[in-house]
Amino acid sequence: MKREDCGFIDTLGHRLLAFVHFIGSLSLILIKVITALLTGRLRLVPFLQECDIFGNRSFWTVAIISFFFGMVVAMESATPLKMTGGEIYVSTIVTLSAVRELGPVLVAFLLSGRVGSAIAAEIGTMKITEQIDALQTLAVDPIEYLVVPKFAAACLMLPVLTIMADALQILGGYVIGTTTLNLNTSLFFFQAFRFVVSKDILIGLLKALIFGVIIVTVSSREGLFAEGGAKGVGRATTMAVVISLFMVIVADLVITALFYFI
């Protein structure tokens, strides 16, 4: 066997082992967090503080971007619809895309960059400065102490933010529809909710819940495994965002396929 072939197989083996290690560590963190929640080991004050970070401090970022995103979707969809005289369906496209897809995905992307990176940096810094080891010395489970409040807050606040993002995207579409396409208010909202069913809303909220689990679990995992000083913290922060975004897209694909395609 050639040396190049050995090098390729060696690299492939290392990549495979790294992937298995990643999935295994992610699963262990998730199991520990769910076990802590089911046994009532959620501390109220840290939970409320994390809800403030996920919800209140992220509100304006999500609100402004969602509003303008709704305007963009309305303008993009209006161009081809005008060619066929179907501009009254702009509100339908904006609403369905927001409720089914863009609402939860947009919120997940924004919070992955804003909160997920902060989680990885916080826990990674604690790992590098041996604060995690100090907690373990004091018989305190770092996952229960650090991750569980963040996990619970994400599971609560991402669906709430998604509902708000959906509403503001529809409002952005309403502004374009009434000012540019000359649609009256009653016609806009009639067409907006004409084809939306409870299944669409529930699946959108389910996506938001799963995306919250992904963001917190991945970000915490990257922080807990950070090493190599300041560069290691930066690397963990970057990987937390990149992996979270990748897994959010994959999860979105799977959920959409299960409920709308298969």
For residue range 220-232, what is the model confidence (pLDDT) as tens digits?
999 999 888 888 8
pLDDT of residue 69 exceeding 90: yes
Q: Does residue 29 contact residue 217 with C-beta atoms inside 8 Å?
A: yes
172 phi and psi angles, rounded to 5 deg: -60, -40
- Percent of the chain past pLDDT 90, that is, above it, reads 67
Report, as an integer, the average pLDDT of 190-196.
89
- Backbone dihedral region of 228: left (phi > 0), alpha (psi from -120 to 50 degrees) or beta? left
Q: For position 83, what pLDDT does the model report? A: 80
Q: Which residues contact 229 (CB under 8 A, 6 or more apart)?
A: 128
Q: Does residue 176 surpass a pLDDT of 80?
A: yes
Under the banding of pLDDT at 50, 70 and 90, the label for residue 147 is very high
pLDDT of residue 258: 93
Quote the pLDDT of residue 120.
94
**Residue range 89-111: average pLDDT?**
93
- CA dist 262 and 259 (Å) reads 7
C-alpha atoms less than 13 angstroms from C-alpha of 238 in its C-beta half-sphere: 6
Q: Is the pLDDT of residue 65 over 60?
A: yes
Q: What is the DSSP letter of 1?
A: -
Q: How far apart are CA 241 and CA 116, in angstroms?
A: 7
The band of 41, judged by pLDDT with boundaries at 50, 70 and 90, is confident
pLDDT surpasses 70 at 162: yes
Amino acid 261: pLDDT: 82
More confident residue, 228 or 27: 27
Is residue 78 pLDDT above 90, yes or no? no
* Cα 166 to chain centroid, rounded: 15
Answer whether residue 4 shows pLDDT above 80. Answer: no
Asked if pLDDT for residue 5 goes beyond 60, the answer is: no
Model confidence at 59: pLDDT above 80: yes
| pLDDT beyond 90 at 47 | yes
Confidence of residue 3 (pLDDT cuts 50, 70, 90): low
Of 225, 224, 219, which is closest to residue 247 (Cα–Cα)?
219
Q: Indicate the Cα dihedral angle 88, 93, 94, 96, nearest 10°.
A: 130
| Alpha helices, DSSP H, located in the chain | 3-38, 44-51, 59-84, 90-97, 103-111, 117-128, 131-137, 142, 148-179, 185-194, 198-224, 229-256
End-to-end Cα, the chain, rounded Å: 45
Q: What is the pLDDT of residue 113?
A: 92
